[in-house]
Structure 1
Amino acid sequence: MRAYYFDNVPGDQRLLHDSGRAVSEERLRSLGVLHWKVPIETPGGWGAQIDAVAAERSYKNRDTINVTREGLGDLYETKLKSFFEEHLHEDEEIRYILDGAGFFDVRELPTDEWIRIHILPGDLLVIPSGVYHRFTLDELNRIKALRLFKEEPKWTPHNRSAATDENPYRVEYVRSVSAAA
């Protein structure tokens, strides 16, 4: 995992868009974004480490998502566009990357700048509920990820708007980050 400020230069969203300004894991943690490195080649398998994090954070369910042109067919471009729209969720978004790669962009508070997080196999990333973010593949054009959920699997995006700014999960996220600052 590597994090940095997005350069905001127009162009293909799958490119690095690296401003040259790095973002530390400490800064990500202050925004509620958590990261663990659990190598795919872990002796005895990565499952036990993922299970330990899942137990610690009360994740009860999981599934696997495979985003590829071949796997999604005609829905590929539509799905990528929807993933890249700025939105929030009322649940944490938890991904353990099994193959491929992509980018999660999260909005920094209070600057509202994009922080780009490049995720690779072995990265376990938690995006907190209430944070504005978006996702895209990188130039590999594929990602396979284990998704973890506290309750039943769901993925309900709430696109950014004045109404979404008043969403109780957004309000609580802003309050918690502001209080920690």
Structure 2
Amino acid sequence: MVQAWYMDDSADDPRLPHRAQPDRPVGLEQLRTLGVLYWKLDADKYENDPELEKIRRERNYSWMDVITICKDKLPNYEEKIKMFFEEHLHLDEEIRYILEGSGYFDVRDKEDRWIRISMEKGDMITLPAGIYHRFTLDEKNYVKAMRLFVGEPVWTPYNRPADHFNARAQYVKFLEGTA
């Protein structure tokens, strides 16, 4: 099962866990109130998984690819890692399914505090359009992930501040409705 927690304020290596002290775990219900959805799937059968196909049909995820993030496989690795860790939002959902390795997605809560979500093999997450977030590898420095999209893929990150976008306004309205 996925683990999530509030982060400390340390500027140390982002690949470290950064757990607040005392530890403040975050459960799936709290993530759902932020619009973050989670599934645990069998990554060993991702190519022919009926459960994944059901989710893709229900949520209209029509496009898919696989990305490997490590020094040997990702062109412009250092630049991309820095870009992924810049706080940003997207105008569409971000869907990631971890096939191998591990990493962290950080999302902002309703009070603008960071929550770290530890992602491992078999974890699939959906971040809603308009949520401020970032991604980093953990100390293993390797992840292979499936990226899913509704329609054509759009990877455009809008670094904070990006409050002028309609997707952000709709997300803030969603948060107000879950208060």
Q: TM-score range by the shorter chain?
A: over 0.9
Of 33-42 and 148-157, the range deviating more from structure 2: 33-42
Q: Give the drift of 1:40.
A: 2.4
Aligned to 2:53: 51
Q: Give the drift of 1:49.
A: 1.2
CA distance in 1, matches of 2:113, 2:139: 23
CA distance in 2, matches of 1:180, 1:91: 20
**Given that residues 38 and 46 in structure 1 are in contact (C-alpha distance below 8 angstroms), is that contact kept between their aligned partners in structure 2?**
no
Cα distance change, pair 22–46 in 1 and its aligned pair in 2 (3 A): farther
Aligned to 2:168: 170
The two structures, once aligned, show a CA RMSD in angstroms of 1.4
CA distance in 2, matches of 1:157, 1:38: 27
1:38 to 24, 36, 41: 41
- TM score, norm. by length of structure 2: 0.94
**Given that residues 90 and 131 in structure 2 are in contact (C-alpha distance below 8 angstroms), is that contact kept between their aligned partners in structure 1?**
yes
Aligned to 2:107: 106
Q: How many residues align?
A: 176
Aligned to 1:139: 139
User: Where does structure 1 lack aligned partners over 5 or more consecutive residues?
Assistant: none
User: Where does structure 2 lack aligned partners over 5 or more consecutive residues?
Assistant: none
- TM score, norm. by length of structure 1: 0.93
Determine helix, strand or coil for the equivalent of 1:18.
coil
1:129-159: per-residue Cα shift (whole Å, max 9, x none)? 0000000000110110011100111200000
**Given that residues 44 and 99 in structure 2 are in contact (C-alpha distance below 8 angstroms), is that contact kept between their aligned partners in structure 1?**
no
Determine helix, strand or coil for the equivalent of 1:36.
strand
**Identical pairs, percent:** 48
1:69 to 71, 88, 105: 71
Determine helix, strand or coil for the equivalent of 1:72.
coil
Moved over 3 A (4+): none
